[in-house]
């Protein structure tokens, strides 16, 4: 899977009400990725209007401040059974 670009999390726009990061796409829409997906290890933001994807560069500990901005707690880890 090839990506269009690599984007630092700091360069993305965080929307607390949607708990989503976005970044402008060359097609005129925007790349999107949910904070919970990032918490689960996903780093690929996709554009819903075209086939482009970007790789979001972040550290898991970076997400805590965004959860605080959204006023929600990070998901609880699933216990191994």
Residue 3 structure tokens: 């990506």
Burial of 66 from C-beta contacts in 10 A (0-12 / 13-18 / 19+)? buried
Return the percentage of the chain with pLDDT > 90, whole number: 84
pLDDT at 78 over 80: no
Query: Residues 25-51: what's their mean pLDDT?
Result: 96
As a whole number of angstroms, the distance between CA 30 and CA 22 comes to 6
pTM, 2 dp: 0.89
Q: Which residue carries 């989503």 as its tokens?
A: 20
For 41-55, the pLDDT digits (tens) are 999 999 999 989 999
Q: How many CB atoms lie within 10 A of CB 15?
A: 15
Q: What is the domain class of 5-68 according to CATH?
A: alpha beta
Residue 81 is predicted with a pLDDT of: 55
């Amino acid at each position: 899977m090839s990506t269009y670009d690599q984007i630092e999390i700091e360069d993305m726009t965080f929307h607390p009400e949607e708990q989503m990061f976005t970044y402008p796409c060359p097609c005129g829409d925007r790349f999107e990725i949910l904070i919970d997906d990032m918490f689960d290890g996903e780093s690929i933001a996709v554009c819903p209007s075209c086939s482009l994807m970007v790789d979001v560069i972040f550290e898991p500990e970076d997400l805590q401040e965004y959860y605080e901005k959204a006023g929600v707690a990070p998901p609880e880890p699933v216990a191994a059974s």
